[in-house]
Amino acid sequence: MLPILYSYRRCPYAIRARMALKYAGVQVEHREIVLRNKPQSLLQVSPKGTVPVLCVDDLILDQSLDIMLWALQLSDPDGWAIVDQSIAKAWIEKNDGPFKALLDQYKYPNRYPDINQAEVFHTAIELMLKPIEVALQANPYLMGGKLSWVDVAIFPFIRQFSMVNPEMFAHLPLPLTQRWLSQHLESELFHSVMHQNPSWVD
């Protein structure tokens, strides 16, 4: 019986989990959820009702990073996990914490009518995109000379940021970050996990 993955196509957390599972060669039963009508089977295994959730026999993983690292423990042919763990942790904490909060404010201005959008935009750039640009001046990837799980974990969030106003993003003086993003967007791995799946119901 295949592991069951509850997912949502555009969710950045789900994207990074799917990319790691695909890279590691883990086949899953993909269950694409509808956010406004979450299946009871999802809520039973993970009451918080967010994706991704991976069910492997009695093991329930409902955090995307846990799914990524679980997959890499099974198979890591290119050494994605061979990184400086303290630096990796710092990147992930900044991305999943303050940058994700800014990203939500930038993506959904109607939810935050009292927040200055221009200020949010520039704060996000200073917090995350400029440090990425600096890191890429030294190496082609965030953790060095080769792709790692940290690049894959952060990329879907930078993708979302770029999609809010693509023209504005394209004119930012961040050529290395833009090239890094394009490499991910054009990769076979990314395209392989972005197929439209029919909505799954119990």
Mean pLDDT score of the chain: 97
At 82, the pLDDT band (50, 70, 90 cuts) reads very high
* pLDDT in the model for residue 201: 84
pLDDT at 177 over 90: yes
Give the list of residues 6+ apart from residue 62 with CB closer than 8 angstroms, or none. Answer: 45, 46, 48, 50, 52, 53, 54
* Burial class of residue 151 in the structure, from the number of CB atoms within 10 Å of its CB (0-12 exposed, 13-18 middle, 19+ buried): buried
* pLDDT in the model for residue 50: 95
Domains of the chain listed by start with CATH number: 4-77 (3.40.30.10), 85-188 (1.20.1050.10)
* pLDDT in the model for residue 202: 82
Task: Give the pLDDT confidence of 145-158 residue by residue, as tens digits.
Answer: 999 999 999 999 99
Percent of the chain with pLDDT over 90: 98
pLDDT (average), residues 9-20: 98
* pLDDT in the model for residue 124: 98
Task: Give the pLDDT confidence of 94-114 residue by residue, as tens digits.
Answer: 999 999 999 999 999 999 999
At 117, the pLDDT band (50, 70, 90 cuts) reads very high
* pLDDT in the model for residue 56: 97
Task: Report the Cα–Cα distance between both ends of the chain, in Å, rounded.
Answer: 17
pLDDT at 73 over 90: yes
